[in-house]
A and B are shown apart, each in its own frame.
Chain A
């Protein structure tokens, strides 16, 4: 902060009688300046802090807009096998330096506000009702791709665990260097939101999140956590790996 101070001579020349009023004026102008800075700060668009200021306010406006548009029964078009992207062209993303390998004795923990916390092995998941979805994948970067995904609907898991009505959010955790995300419950229970263990008719490749990843039609790719370890039904939203770094939290499509 730099502030211009009047030259000492002028200050002494102004004399005592004005001193009081000038401090009052100083107080007033400082106050006004502070209020102005605050107002500017509230309106500011800081690209490095997109959740704050005007950009943050508008993110919340856009979340409302997206929730109003969201129809829990509307399905994304299921595509034909001929529309599948070649497996080698489907981008593979991770946070760890190398593709993370599942720890021995891997299990999925389902917890939070549930009547029956679950611990599910790969075999347990395969025994639950199986579903396949082949929809367009939308990445935050702008690309799209198509694959078919085999797995179990998250709504099926929610029913098995007995989710408490107070749970409004779902948090997904992984063994990929702490990658995580959290969702609104409505999107998580959408019929095309699944925990996938298969891709294009094959077991899920390590590069795409083996042994288990989240897949959905109604969210951008970064919301679909790979290398899952935990699913928690929560009364409050938690952030997420990219969300905490400034990416939009709702990110519906």
Chain B
């Protein structure tokens, strides 16, 4: 029996992640409102261009600082649990082979896809199975960001009880900057991701109802 393009566990964790990431990002931005500077008091980072700029209220969740902190630290557990289920499934099912980026297999295809999408090259890169090389590179990079966002969050939450982690990330204020930086990267990914889905609406159906793969898509 052909495997669905997106198995049900991938679909379930994908949509759960959309909800959880929205809550985490929104409550995180509401926490940022309380002190919208990066760097310690009296030594704010010179490289950060948005010192003192509050995120727009429409993007925030939790209403006020205490509410947002409660949302953030409650849903963080669900966010991590959902990611653990996804990663466990990814490896247990063998799905990692057709989803993760392997330079030897995917680098040439990724580059070809970029050139084609930028209209610099006419010919489409050959089909590489479920995803093209560039998709694999992007999805793998986003997966790699997930541990960084969790660890930098933990370093900020427990800078005294987790001293090595906090030191590894460069201290409390550096961890805070990293945490916000990863959010910015995830936001950028989401924008490009949504545009790509609008351009290729079939992928939305695959992620929602789990159409079975056609033979030429099998890998």
A-to-B contact residues, CB < 8 Å: 45, 47-48, 50, 54-59, 61-62, 66, 69-71, 74, 76-77, 85-86, 89-91, 135-136, 138-146, 217-218, 242, 245-248, 252-253
Q: Are A48 and B63 in contact (CB under 8 A)?
A: yes
| Cβ–Cβ contact B160 & A253, under 8 A | yes
Specify which of B43, B68, B70, B161 is in contact with A70 (CB 8 Å cutoff): B161
B79 at the interface (CB under 8 A from A): no
Does any Cβ of A come within 8 Å of B41's Cβ?
A: yes
* Complex-state Cα separation, A104 to B176, whole angstroms: 43
Contact B69 A91 (CB under 8 A): no
Least distance between A241 CB and chain B CB atoms (Å): 12
The answer to the question of B159 belonging to the interface, with a C-beta cut-off of 8 Å to chain A, is yes
Question: Would you give 25 A-B contacts (Cβ < 8 Å), ordered by A?
Answer: A47-B63, A47-B68, A47-B70, A50-B67, A54-B74, A55-B71, A62-B73, A66-B158, A71-B161, A85-B40, A85-B41, A85-B43, A90-B41, A90-B42, A136-B171, A140-B34, A140-B69, A142-B31, A142-B176, A143-B37, A143-B41, A144-B40, A145-B40, A247-B65, A253-B158
User: Which of A136, A145, A218: most chain B CB closer than 10 A?
Assistant: A136
Is the pair A145, B41 in contact by a Cβ cutoff of 8 Å?
yes
Question: Size range of the interface on B?
Answer: 20 to 34
In whole angstroms, how far apart are the Cα atoms of A143 and B159 in the complex? 13
Cross-chain contact of A252 among B65, B74, B77, B158 (Cβ < 8 A) = B158
Instruction: Decide if A142 touches B35 in the complex (CB within 8 Å).
Output: yes
| A142 close to B32 (CB less than 8 A) | yes
Which residue of A58, A70, A86, A136 contacts B159 across the interface (Cβ within 8 Å)?
A: A136
- In the complex, which residues 120-135 of chain B have their Cβ closer than 8 Å to any Cβ of chain A? none
- B106 within 8 A of partner (CB): no
User: Top 10 nearest A-B pairs by Cβ distance?
Assistant: A47-B67, A89-B42, A58-B74, A50-B70, A47-B63, A145-B41, A142-B35, A141-B34, A246-B66, A141-B35
From 155 to 190 in chain B, residues with beta carbon under 8 angstroms from any chain A beta carbon are: 157-163, 171-173, 176
- Bound-state CA distance A160–B15 (Å) is 58
> Which residues does chain A contribute within 8 Å of B172, judged by CB atoms?
136, 138, 144
Chain B residues contacting A55 (CB-CB under 8 Å) are: 67, 70-71, 74
Query: Chain B's nearest CB lies how many Å from the CB of A22?
Result: 39
Contacts of A89 in B (CB 8 A): 41-42
Which B residues touch A74, using CB under 8 A?
160-161, 163
In the complex, the chain B residue whose C-beta lies closest to that of A253 is B160
Instruction: Kindly report which residue of chain B lies nearest to residue A74, judged by CB atoms.
Output: B161
Task: Please pick, from A48, A54, A77, the residue contacting B67 in the complex, using a CB distance under 8 A.
Answer: A48
Chain B contacts with A in 48-93, Cβ cutoff 8 A: 62-71, 73-74, 77
| Cβ B40 vs Cβ A45 within 8 A | no
Interface contact A59-B70, CB-CB below 8 Å: yes
The residues of A that contact B31 with a CB separation of less than 8 Å are 142
CA distance A145 to B42 in the complex (A): 8
B41, A144: Cβ atoms closer than 8 Å? yes
Hey, which chain B residues are within 8 Å of A247, CB to CB?
65-66, 69
